Copies of this chain bind each other. A is one copy, B any other.
Amino acid sequence: MGIGTELLMGELTDTNSAWIASRLPALGIELQWVSIIGDDLPRLTEAFKRGMERSDIIFTTGGLGPTQDDLTREAIAAAFGETPTIQQEVVDGLERYFAARGTPMPSHNIKQANLIPSAKFVPNPNGTAPGWWAERGGKIIICMPGPPAENRSMWEEQVEPQLAELIEDEVTITRNIKTMGMSEGAVDEIVSEFFGIENPYLGIYSKADGIHLRIIARAKDTETAQSMIIPVEQAIHDRLGEYVWGYDDETPETAAGKSLIEKGLTLAVMEMCTGGALTNNITNVPDSLTYFKGGTVAYDSAALTAYGVPADVMEKHGVVSQQTANAMAETARQTLNANIGVAVTGVPGPGEFEGKPLGLAYISVTNGKQTREMEMRLPPRRVTIKRRVPNQALIELRRLVEEIG
């Protein structure tokens, strides 16, 4: 439950809930529902009541600050029908916190020392707002502060260890298999017999970097959960192996980077329609300095010529052509003396370019001997082109690096 009116005004995106969500499967906790609610006492109280009917554990972030808008504690007290009282030892702690910063405690902060009989405090070494751990009728409510730096360390140092002690009986393991080159409907058909089974569960997701298949298995221990995943993963491999490009948290740029590092190869780039998006993705990888040499972005044939692409290839085939993509990849490679050159050309938009439609793009990856080529036809939107063409180019790059052995 994300708490705070600023989350409802679209001023702040609730990233806490997704972060907590990502930590739950390993604890064997199934997340059923996320709510984002404003600083409104009746609505928050209703949410706690409804949540306790529906779930065993409720996590909240936000609404623990010192202002009148911070109502998480008050809403739990109302939902439980209990009266909060000030805890002197927490007041003393708050006074020490402010004294260490050379200012007296603002009087508003005293409300952070409130507690109800069914709750205990969770210490917060990184801020003034202590967390709450409340239990009633077998249900648990765990309240953490809103700032990510505060709730993440509270989670890791205190909440997760205490939860792990409570929940021992089940382990959840997930395996994410990422494919590119087949439509969602086609992948769905090929592995359809595995859908609709509760454990191991198979989910299918369409992403900018292809179709992902996610296997989730629950069991008493890691080994058993693993053994439930293996046959499904094997079947997916047998049927879709050539389309698989990565696993779990891998992205096209980390997968390509890993292959380049393994083979000790270096990379140079030249892009047209993607306008720097490909290079930007490559350099998001912390290790990219070890294999990425540099790249150029050109928006017209004059700039491409200035960067060394032979003018006669562009004159003969057009800037947006497979031949120009190939010449760009080879030029990038030679200019920076890299092992591999990757290039993308296409229509940058907003409209046509040399009579060719927005959405058309060509990819080329070369090591000077072998070359992978690809034509793409995408929906005519700049954001789609800038998101999907770099992913495809990086997956082709990885495939070439794997091929050259």
Contact = CB atoms under 8 A, between A and B. Distances in A.
A24 to B, nearest CB: 7
Q: Which of A4, A33, A125: most chain B CB closer than 10 A?
A: A33
A286 B186 contact: no
B188 A66 contact: yes
Interface stretch (A81-89, A163-171, A227-235, A271-279): A271-279
A297 B279 contact: yes
A78 interface: no
For the residues of A in contact with B, the DSSP-based class is mixed
A404 interface: no
Contact of A379 (B126, B186, B289, B294): B126
30 contacts: A7-B21, A8-B34, A9-B22, A11-B214, A14-B14, A33-B37, A33-B47, A35-B36, A66-B185, A68-B192, A68-B196, A69-B204, A103-B183, A109-B185, A126-B384, A149-B383, A149-B384, A276-B279, A276-B295, A280-B280, A280-B386, A284-B386, A287-B350, A288-B299, A289-B348, A293-B299, A294-B296, A294-B299, A306-B336, A306-B337
A381 B276 contact: no
Contacts of A19: 10
B11 A20 contact: no
A368 interface: no
A22 to B, nearest CB: 3
B293 A296 contact: no
Interface of A: 2, 4-15, 17-25, 31-40, 43, 47, 50, 65-69, 101, 103, 105-109, 125-127, 147, 149, 153, 174, 176, 183-186, 188-189, 192, 195-196, 203-206, 214, 216, 269, 274-284, 286-289, 292-300, 302-304, 306-307, 335-337, 348-350, 377, 379, 381-384, 386-387
Given A149-B381, A283-B348, A286-B349, A10 B14 contact: no
A295 to B, nearest CB: 5
A17 B10 CA distance: 8
A34 to B, nearest CB: 4
A39 to B, nearest CB: 8
Contacts of A21: 7-10
B294 A189 contact: no
Contact of A289 (B101, B105, B196, B299): B299
Contact of A127 (B303, B379, B386): B379
